[in-house]
Amino acid sequence: MRTLGRGVIVGVVLATACGGGTKNADTTAAPGGPGQPAPAAGASASAGAPAGAAATGAAATQAATGKTWEVKMLGDATGYRFDPANLTIKEGDAVKWTVVSGPPHNVSFYADSIPSGAQTQLNANMQNTMSPLTSPLFNNPGDSYTVSFKGVPKGAYKYFCTPHQALGMHAQLTVQ
């Protein structure tokens, strides 16, 4: 009986915490919304840029124009690692990270360990991010994530796997 009572209390607390309270209205401004003029027919915020890029100063995604390099994401008895841990590419190339073992894995760039001015374009070239400069988590062997390095400054880009950062899963990419 005592266990059942605790279960009911925990259930009520979780339901209240997860679904209770008031909902905030969507504060995203839409073109033509209240107080904003509607765009002219056929007009866009910025030719070739994602919606909102012109207003926010965000960079447009730039597709890779060079070679696609492969990096394995591994976790096994010898540790968690990217293979290769150091890779040199050319501006315009792409890197494809693939889960081989030990998921979940992702790719997250250190904001303070990439070239000055790189963050905006690199983030624009990263699709479906969890947060700035951070890919989604991948849970299955064979899952992959590709990032274009077109339009980014030359230099060193240090990155890590968020779930395994404390276990030393970090690497460096150099763009020439």
Query: Does residue 3 register a pLDDT over 80?
Result: no
Q: Which range has the worst mean pLDDT, 51-55, 76-80, 105-109, 127-131?
A: 51-55
Q: pLDDT tens for residues 90-124? A: 999 999 999 999 999 999 999 999 999 999 999 99
Average pLDDT, the chain: 78
Whole-number Å distance between alpha carbons of 138 and 105 = 5
- Please give the CATH topology (third level) of the domain spanning 68-175: Immunoglobulin-like (2.60.40)
Report the pLDDT value the prediction gives residue 33, as an integer from 0 to 100.
38
Exposure string of 142-153, with b = 16+ CB inside 10 Å and e = fewer, is: ebebbbbbbbbe
Query: Does residue 84 register a pLDDT over 80?
Result: yes
